[in-house]
Amino acid sequence: MNLRTVHVLHRTYNDPRVGALMRATLLVVTEVIFDGLVETDYGQFDLLWGDGYGFDGNFERFFAGQLNGLAGAAADEGLYLHLARRSGGSPVQIVRHDTEPPLTDDWEDMVEVSISVPMGAQPKWSTWAGEASGLLSIPHGTYRVRVNARGRDAGRDGEFADEPLTGT
């Protein structure tokens, strides 16, 4: 599912060089590249662009130099995201922005990490042991990834519930 939205932003400012009020127009593109319920085991959700199968249990390799437990970006072949639930469904949305999105108070947890998707890679998402996966429309390049989460405590408390938890 790819939904592309173009926002037209207008900014008015005073330009002292010409002594006039100026108006700038900026087109901002956002693209929803994944929006779905992820059924996972061990809370594992990977974004992959290398040959590996994602998180292999080696926390040092994925979290080297990082202080968070939500997004492991230290491995070259992908980004490991730890959903709070051990198993079951969690709603996940991945949105690509061409400008930095605004910070909001809607989230309980927020982490930013950097990733580089190499030329020729075919990015995909995957759950534990590749049980479920799919392709992602992410062009090669360097990205700043912001991972937002809410309801992780409820997810951990209801980790074996049959139904998806709302707000996670």
Cβ-contact 89, 164 below 8 angstroms: yes
Enter the CATH code of domain 31-157.
2.60.34.30
Residue with tokens 């072949």: 77
| pLDDT tens sequence for the chain (168 residues) | 444 434 344 444 555 555 555 555 556 678 889 999 888 888 889 999 987 778 888 999 999 999 888 899 999 899 999 887 777 778 888 988 888 888 888 888 899 999 999 999 999 999 988 889 999 999 999 999 999 888 777 766 666 666 665 554
Global confidence as pTM: 0.76
The position carrying tokens 């700043």 is 144
